[in-house]
Amino acid sequence: MQLFPTIEVQNGKPVSLVRGRLDEPQIWPVDPVETVRGFARAGAAWIHVTDLDAVEGKPPQDDLLRELVLAAEVPLQVGGGIRSRERVAHLLDMGVGRVVLGTVAVGYPDLLKEMARYHPDQIVLAVDVFEGRVMSKGWRETSAYDPGDFIDWFKDDPLAAIMVTDIDSDISDAEASLALVSDLAGRSRHPVIASGLVRTLDDVARLKYVRNVAGALVGRALFNDSIELRAALALAAQPLEEVAAFL
């Protein structure tokens, strides 16, 4: 399983959000460029970055993103407020390895399909779920889409992955969130990246055994020292052990 150390940046600073509340960020007193360098030195093969300024509709933090691309020396997967083919092309030209799209897929699914065909294996579909429905615009708007049906709509498109976030995970029990990700991973023809579920090494170990979950994001747990990145990467990379069948 691929582990994606994750950094969310707002006004140039690394932060964590609770249920997407942009007005109440937890600010981490670290340098984002040095943080990304540290992720790469620890052995990360990919790093996930979310531009929260762009999510808010502010100008994207392109100067910082360029610094992060150069500092990381491993591919970046970038999300946050990306809603046009021009923005996708700009980020890829900047050196970003993958872009994450959610809102555009809800509002303009044919545009998402077009971009996936034009940039095969470089588009990640974000499926953010709250109370059984797909959310958009930074978790602020509820769509009519059932998440399973939404995933099925893109089953034949050359996506790099589908990233599933259970927005309820900040307030609900971990078992319910794991069940949601497991269900959607079982329906998806694309590899699934779980977001918001890794708080301890035990969470990494559990996700490894969920069929079709090929990756997981880990962010806040790295900043509050709940998880040591080298240990998490080593655990994620271990081959699966055989599990006895239930009788």
- Is the model's pLDDT at 246 over the cut of 50? no
Domain ranges of the chain: 2-236
Stretch among 6-15, 64-73, 108-117, 177-186 having the lowest mean pLDDT:
177-186
The per-residue pLDDT for 67 is 98
What local confidence, expressed as pLDDT, does residue 137 receive? 85
CATH class in words for 2-236:
alpha beta
Can you give the pLDDT at residue 17? 87
d(CA 3, CA 194): 10
* 128 in active site: yes
Look at residues 88, 110, 114, 115 and name the one whose alpha carbon lies nearest to residue 99. 88
- Write down the pLDDT at residue 247: 39
Please report the pLDDT score of residue 141 as a whole number.
82
Contact in structure between 135 and 128 (CB atoms under 8 Å): yes
The pair of three-digit structure tokens given for residue 52, joined into one six-digit string: 């929260």
User: At 2, phi and psi to the nearest 5?
Assistant: -90, 125
Does position 188 have pLDDT exceeding 80, yes or no? yes
Which CA distances in Å does 31 have to 37, 50, 52, 59? 10, 15, 16, 21
- From 8, 51, 166, 203, active-site residue: 8
pLDDT (0 to 100) of residue 174: 65
**Given 53, 128, 166, 203, the catalytic residue:** 128
| Rounded average pLDDT over 103-127 | 96
The predicted model scores a pTM of 0.93
With 80 as the cut, is the pLDDT of residue 195 above it? yes
Residue 22: pLDDT above 90?
no
Residue range 86-111: average pLDDT? Answer: 96
Cα distance between residue 165 and residue 233, in whole Å: 21
